[in-house]
Amino acid sequence: MFRWRDAYSVKVKVIDEQHKNLFRIGRELFDILNKAEDYNDIIKILEELKNYAVYHFSEEEKYMKKFNYVEYDKHKAEHDFFIEKIKKLDIEKGIKEDQREIISETLAFIEKWIESHILRSDQRYSKFFNERGIF
């Protein structure tokens, strides 16, 4: 899970690095979930993922606004959907043993969403940003 491939590159260095970091966090969450006995570790990495996703999405959206990217609203809606899904875990209240299955399902959603979003939605802005001097 969560392995970076060159096919994910959007040809914008700063965004590719942020995407790689999302993959790193996801991989760390996967590893922790499979061996953690202390759910505080899971809570910590889920918080990191949520916070980093918010940061990364705002960076992408900043470029989109700056250059009047035509698909901005649609793209932002995808970002908002992802963040709301993560927030629904209610991780501030803690995680109990019986939530392991829910977390596993959410992790599968996160991986599929990130992969699909990068390969589809993010790839559509790659050329647009490059044409505006962002590499």
pLDDT in tens, 79-111: 999 998 888 776 555 555 556 677 777 788 889
3-state secondary structure of 65: helix
Question: What pLDDT was estimated at residue 90?
Answer: 60
Write down the pLDDT at residue 47.
87
Total-model pTM: 0.88
Percentage of the chain beyond pLDDT 90 is 60
Handedness of CA 89, 91, 93, 94 (dihedral sign): positive
In one-letter notation, the amino acid at residue 29 is L
Tell me what pLDDT residue 80 has: 97
Structural domains of the chain in order of their starting residue, each with its CATH number: 11-131 (1.20.120.50)
Distance CA 127, CA 135 (A): 10
